[in-house]
Amino acid sequence: MSDNIPFELQAEIIKRILPVKSLLRFRSVSKQWKSLIDSSEFITHHALNNKTQPQHLLVRYITGGTEDKYVSIVDDDNFPHHKFSPVVPPTVKLHPLPFMLDCSHGLVCLHGWTRDRVNRKKLVVVWNPLIGKSVGIEIPDPDRAYIVIGFGVCPKTSDPKIIKLSRFFDSKAEAKAEVFRLSSGAWRSVPMNIPFKSLHFQNSQVVIDGVIHWLTYDKITYKLRLYSFDLASEKFGEAVDFPHNLAGGSGRKYGISKINDSLVVLSHHWVVTNLTPKPFCDVWMMLKNGVSKPSFTKLFTVNDVEVDSMIGFRKNGQPIVDRTKTGGYDVELEVYELYSERINGLGIYGSAFMMTSYKESLLLLNHSDSIIHS
């Protein structure tokens, strides 16, 4: 760009360039451009206006029984042919087999225990797979405590946050809710107004529009409920009960996921046909419609899919299926074609697949790979 153009005008032009890969290349044009693109103000501005970035499916899987690998698939018209292996930072490799919690604003959250058997630590890693940056946060984990971890990026400030819900198994002490903000590097307590002691949380969560959602089972009322946490206000939302036509029926197992920016509930059940039981999964979408209590509508049913084998969705709603959940040996990851009911391979072979979807982001660009100790 010509040196005759004032830098302030250059900056306004650069702000209109949304593709992340282009911005990363432009950092080498000049020191001024690099300083601008690396600044917190520019990164936040890009994140808040980052609505049209390509969607990727990030898949974590195991090969050879022990080695975990990652592959990113661009979810576009050429799916699944545009794949690449993201740069995996050392912080991510501290986990032997991390649990992939969710993704928010291009940041993937992994958590689990470190490899050190003598001095093991519970560690959450926030990772930007497109630019290869990550930050690890040690999670205080006292003995005999039940802990739930949540993650998301505040939609107003682009600040990554971790929420920790905890209670002791053998204590009358009150349950606690704490929030970690990456910008401050510190934990702080927030009011907890949910019956945490009576709830069992699923491992998975879903972040939509700056709100974390968890699927829970209330051990006192015997009800399935969705609980939420607003990342901007740092307040819990009202519980959402499942309607009878969704929660009814014995022997069903439930999970939550998302299709684009909508929460979906997975209802796994068995149907006996010709004396042979076959697995099915109903997919229900939560609709808010501007009212306080959301409703649910059934989208479709997927045939011959075992419990927990539906690990995510493409942006067009097609389920991604892992058939190693019961067999345990390496097979090919598959996509289920809704209308033809065909299952096609994705050319990725392994076992114990996990998946999340993310959009390209500059978040963490101005952070060094590090671990924040508790």
Burial 302-334 (b: 16+ CB within 10 A, else e): beebbbebbbbbbeebbbbbbbbbeeeeebebb
Burial degree of 199 (CB within 10 A; 0-12, 13-18, 19+): buried
44 occurs within a structural domain: yes
Which uninterrupted H or E stretch holds 134?
Answer: strand 133-138
Asked if residue 320 lies in contact with residue 312, where contact means CB atoms within 8 angstroms, the answer is: yes
108 occurs within a structural domain: yes
Q: How confident is the model at residue 284 (pLDDT cuts 50, 70, 90)?
A: very high
- Specify the CATH number for the domain of residue 196: 2.120.10.80
DSSP labels, 246-280 = HH-STT-EEEEEEETTEEEEEEEEEEEETTEEEEE
d(CA 124, CA 223): 30
243 occurs within a structural domain: yes
CA quadruple 336, 340, 75, 264: dihedral, nearest 10 = -60
Strand bridging mode 133-138 / 370-372: parallel
Residue 251 has pLDDT above 80, yes or no: no
Structure tokens at 104: 């928010």
Count of the separate structural domains present in the chain: 1
- The pLDDT tens digits for 126-139 are 999 999 999 999 99
23 occurs within a structural domain: no
> What pLDDT is attached to residue 352?
86
CA quadruple 106, 109, 110, 116: dihedral, nearest 10 = 110
Asked if residue 148 lies in contact with residue 214, where contact means CB atoms within 8 angstroms, the answer is: yes
Q: How confident is the model at residue 362 (pLDDT cuts 50, 70, 90)?
A: very high
Helix (H/G/I), strand (E/B), else coil: 186: strand
- The pLDDT tens digits for 36-71 are 999 999 999 888 887 778 899 999 998 876 778 999
Q: How confident is the model at residue 324 (pLDDT cuts 50, 70, 90)?
A: low
> What pLDDT is attached to residue 131?
94
> Which range of residues forms the domain containing residue 136?
39-372
Q: How confident is the model at residue 198 (pLDDT cuts 50, 70, 90)?
A: very high
Question: Average pLDDT for residues 256-283, to the nearest whole number?
Answer: 89
**Which of these ranges, 49-53, 144-148, 163-167, has the smallest mean pLDDT?**
49-53
31 occurs within a structural domain: no
Q: Which residues pair with 272 in a beta bridge?
A: 277
> What pLDDT is attached to residue 172?
75
3 occurs within a structural domain: no
d(CA 138, CA 122): 6
18 occurs within a structural domain: no
Mean pLDDT for all residues in the chain = 88
Asked if residue 92 lies in contact with residue 98, where contact means CB atoms within 8 angstroms, the answer is: yes
> What pLDDT is attached to residue 174?
83
